[in-house]
Amino acid sequence: MASRPEILFPLFAGLETLDSVGPKTAKNFSALQIATLRDLVFHLPVNLIDRSRRDSIRGLEFPAIATVEVTIGMHQPPRAHGRPYRVLVRDSLVEFQLVFFRARSDYLQKSLPTGARRLVSGRIELFDGIAQMAHPDHVLPLTAAADLPGTEAIYGLCAGVSQKLMTKAIASAMKQLPVLAEWIDPDLKSRESWPDWNVAIAQAHAPASLADLASSAPARARLAYDELLAHQMMLALARASARRHPGRVTRGTGLLQARVLNALDYQPTGAQSRAIAEITADMASPRRMNRLLQGDVGAGKTLVALMAMLVAVEAGGQAVMMAPTEILARQHHESLTPLAHAAGLEIALLTGRDKGAERAAKRANVAEGGSQIVLGTHAVFQKGIEFHDLRLAIIDEQHRFGVAQRAALAEKGANVDMLVMTATPIPRSLALTRFGDMDVSVLDEKPPGRKPVQTALVSTARLDEVVEHLRRAIDAGQQAYWVCPLVEESEVSSLTAAQARFEHLRASLGEDRVGLVHGQQHPTEKDMAMGRFMVGETKLLVATTVIEVGVNVPNASIMVIERAEQFGLAQLHQLRGRVGRGAAASTCLLLYEAPLGETAARRLKLLRDTEDGFRIAEEDMAIRGAGDLLGTAQSGLPRFRVADLERQSGLMAIAQSDARKLLNDDPELTGLRGQAARVLLWLMEQDKAIRYLSIG
């Protein structure tokens, strides 16, 4: 295994190697995830203070930071314990006070002798009409005044680490910076006017104006690009490594696919046809497929998945599709069965509920190859399930499954092609960050016949009107969902519980017309409630977000979301996608508790104004941030110190194509730029990537 290049040794030394930091202080820095000199130099300023000198504080709007030359006047030691020590000073025009709490009198007499000239800098405020500077940040004799820079960088701090200590530690670490060979493409660096790495670090820590703190400032943009390039190289190397694993050539005859297409009462969209062609080409190549199918609500991923599975069957193999919940697995089974029948196939459904002889018979059929297409929950990758010849594994709503579960499914066959699907539109920069090692197909068109959903914002004060509107719609034969955010009343929350809302709506609309489904129900009870709603026995389904994904009831044309301001934008978009699937005009009512905060209002208005899931996802990321959008704990997002995914998505796309080109031109990274790029991987702690190279 290759080891860290010697040139980087100084940057990976512990903080206690710095003059200003001892072992105890070094421990304090850990709250900021700073353990080495490298971490320290990538801890960039968050603000700056203007320390430029002025003749007088007269004319300032208080409070303000001021740097001014003064003559020291009379000292006023405290008359009682706990009172401050005051020193009168005068600039060229006015008199003001320096104020010190718990200060040593002898120290102040010595450092601020009456009649001396000093340069003082700090925050000035008016207190009882008197201008005061409490504990000046800087007090310098005029001989040292030139040492005070015109601007001073301000850093994020934690307990036990002061601004002074942070500044001193960073200045000390900067002296250890090595000179590193350039890893950025020369044309790109020149086009963007980016400085060399060492210069970029120095400039980023010495901002002259607020513009230098912006993510677009050349020094910061360059350092952000370094992080993104290293991350994309790691993903590109992982992708190249995966591609070195041979796949199996799986070529379909097109016969079963043609039967299904003939049975459709609509033409697939251009996006669906394109995705099917991309997947078919992947499966026919000798490389193992690793593709993400990303589609907006109702974009028709299920048809694409079926066509992919038919390729495997036409080639004499089997395909499996795994869904995160039993409701969704059964839903897929019901929607795909008629199409599979058109192709002359049966689809097996495996869930955790299969018991005894039925379960044994299903397993035997899968093992013997009789079941060519298998749908199910996590039950499909458990021990005891063996496939005769598994060619393709599809994972639906992939963010609900961990890497280990995906791997377990892939291991059910030899060199299985993998297709993962998500109905959550992901902003391009996030898709590149999280799925950069995968090929991506995007469904960005809606199949014909999907009607737009009219969305309205309604205050909870008008709840009775909403219930009356539902009564009329139900009387006219329509069905509706009512989504609540919590299952049971909580003392700390005013959110209405699904149980309580269910009781209220049954009393208003009739007991036999309202059903209830939530995550804490027994699976059988949940399925029965869903089943009654699907066949139209119940007209209104009160639910928690268990219905967010995949539930398909074409007759349901109204979606009410209670306390909509408590939901994320992407989740609201998913829920709204449950209606608009049938012939009737559909509506989504977003019930909110007034008054709405500015951010909540912005989110709900965006949802009202657009049905474009990708636009909604971009806006959601701008509001909530990248980690929160995917759920940081399971997002798989790297933690960037400099790069800002929300503001620098364009850089991520450049980094991906640059990383792939570099590895295409120099797969072993042995050229001049390649060797520099290896150093970058070590610098950015992407050691995993070096392992993918499997060379020293």
What is the per-residue pLDDT across 550-577, written as a single tens digit (0 to 9) for each? Answer: 567 889 999 999 999 988 887 888 889 8
Q: Name the fold adopted by 453-610.
A: Rossmann fold (3.40.50)
Angle of the 301-314 helix axis to the 255-263 helix axis, nearest 10: 150
Q: Measured in Å, how far apart are the chain's first and last C-alpha atoms?
A: 6
Q: Which pLDDT score is estimated for 628? A: 45
Nearest partner of 96 among 118, 124, 76, judged by Cα = 124
Inter-residue contact 232 to 659 (CB < 8 Å): yes
Evaluate if residue 654 carries a pLDDT over 60.
yes
Evaluate if residue 494 carries a pLDDT over 60.
no
Evaluate if residue 642 carries a pLDDT over 50.
yes
Distance CA 469, CA 456 (A): 13
Q: Which CATH code is given to the segment(s) 52-148? A: 2.40.50.140
Distance CA 391, CA 309 (A): 9
pLDDT confidence tier of residue 631, bands split at 50, 70 and 90? very low
CA distances from 395 to 291, 320, 600 (A): 11, 8, 33
The dihedral sign for the CA sequence 506, 509, 515, 516: negative
182-186: which pairs have CB atoms within 8 A and are 24 or more residues apart?
A: 182/673, 182/676, 183/226, 183/229, 183/673, 183/676, 183/677, 183/679, 183/680, 184/222, 184/225, 184/226, 184/229, 185/658, 185/662, 185/673
Percent of the chain scored above 90 by pLDDT? Answer: 59
Distance CA 552, CA 554 (A): 6
pLDDT confidence tier of residue 436, bands split at 50, 70 and 90? low
Element (H, E) at 405: helix 403-410
- Name the more confident of 376 and 616: 376
Inter-residue contact 559 to 481 (CB < 8 Å): yes
Q: Show Cβ contacts of residue 193 under 8 Å, excluding neighbours closer than 6 positions.
A: 218
Q: Which pLDDT score is estimated for 227? A: 94
Evaluate if residue 622 carries a pLDDT over 80.
no
Tell which CATH architecture fits domain 255-427.
3-Layer(aba) Sandwich (3.40)
pLDDT confidence tier of residue 689, bands split at 50, 70 and 90? confident
Could you tell me the pTM of the whole model?
0.67
Ranked by mean pLDDT, which of 215-219, 424-428, 541-545, 613-617 comes out on top? 215-219
Backbone angles phi, psi at 14, to 5 degrees: -70, 160
Ranked by mean pLDDT, which of 228-237, 279-288, 403-412, 649-658 comes out on top? 279-288
Written as one letter, the residue type at 406 is R
Q: Which pLDDT score is estimated for 88? A: 98
Give the mean model confidence (pLDDT) for residues 181-185.
96
Cα 522–chain centre separation: 32
List the single range of 58-62, 137-141, 270-274, 447-451 with lowest mean pLDDT.
447-451
Distance CA 320, CA 378 (A): 11
- Name the more confident of 414 and 139: 139
Give the mean model confidence (pLDDT) for residues 299-316.
95
The 10 Å Cβ neighbour count of residue 51 is: 18
Q: Write out the residue limits of the CATH 3.40.50.300 domain(s) in the chain.
A: 255-427, 453-610
Cα 536–chain centre separation: 38
Q: Which pLDDT score is estimated for 488? A: 53
Q: Which pLDDT score is estimated for 229? A: 95
Q: Which pLDDT score is estimated for 511? A: 87
CA distances from 432 to 136, 181, 233, 323, 653 (A): 48, 27, 12, 24, 7
CA distances from 532 to 339, 518, 525, 542 (A): 24, 15, 11, 13
List, for residues 498-556, the tens digit of each pLDDT value.
Answer: 888 999 999 999 989 999 988 778 878 888 888 899 889 999 999 887 665 556 788 99
Both structure tokens of 687? 């050691």
**Per-residue DSSP letter, 486:** B
Evaluate if residue 492 carries a pLDDT over 80.
no
Q: Which pLDDT score is estimated for 432? A: 66
| Residues in the chain, total | 696
Evaluate if residue 493 carries a pLDDT over 60.
no
C-alpha gyration radius of the chain: 32
pLDDT confidence tier of residue 617, bands split at 50, 70 and 90? confident
List the single range of 258-272, 336-350, 479-493, 616-630 with lowest mean pLDDT.
616-630
Half-sphere exposure of 244 (CA within 13 A, CB side): 9
Q: Which pLDDT score is estimated for 607? A: 92
Half-sphere exposure of 535 (CA within 13 A, CB side): 6
Helices assigned H by DSSP within 205-269 = 218-244, 255-263
Both structure tokens of 685? 């702690």
Burial class (CB in 10 A: 0-12, 13-18, 19+), 533: buried
Average pLDDT score, the chain: 87
Q: Which pLDDT score is estimated for 359? A: 87
CA distances from 187 to 180, 191, 192 (A): 18, 6, 9
Q: Would strands 318-322 and 151-154 be described as parallel, antiparallel, or unpaired?
A: unpaired
Give the mean model confidence (pLDDT) for residues 2-8.
90
pLDDT confidence tier of residue 379, bands split at 50, 70 and 90? confident
Evaluate if residue 626 carries a pLDDT over 70.
no
Distance CA 515, CA 513 (A): 7
- Name the more confident of 223 and 358: 223
Q: Which pLDDT score is estimated for 636? A: 44
Inter-residue contact 426 to 398 (CB < 8 Å): no
Written as one letter, the residue type at 309 is M
Give the mean model confidence (pLDDT) for residues 295-314.
91
List the single range of 152-166, 194-208, 252-266, 429-443 with lowest mean pLDDT.
429-443
6-9: which pairs have CB atoms within 8 A and are 24 or more residues apart?
A: 7/178, 7/180, 7/679, 8/38, 8/178, 8/679, 8/682, 8/683
Token pair 């579960």 is found at 405
Inter-residue contact 37 to 11 (CB < 8 Å): yes
Q: Which pLDDT score is estimated for 525? A: 85
Cα 337–chain centre separation: 36
Evaluate if residue 489 carries a pLDDT over 60.
no
List, for residues 73-109, the tens digit of each pLDDT value.
Answer: 999 999 888 899 999 999 999 999 999 998 889 999 9
Distance CA 618, CA 606 (A): 11
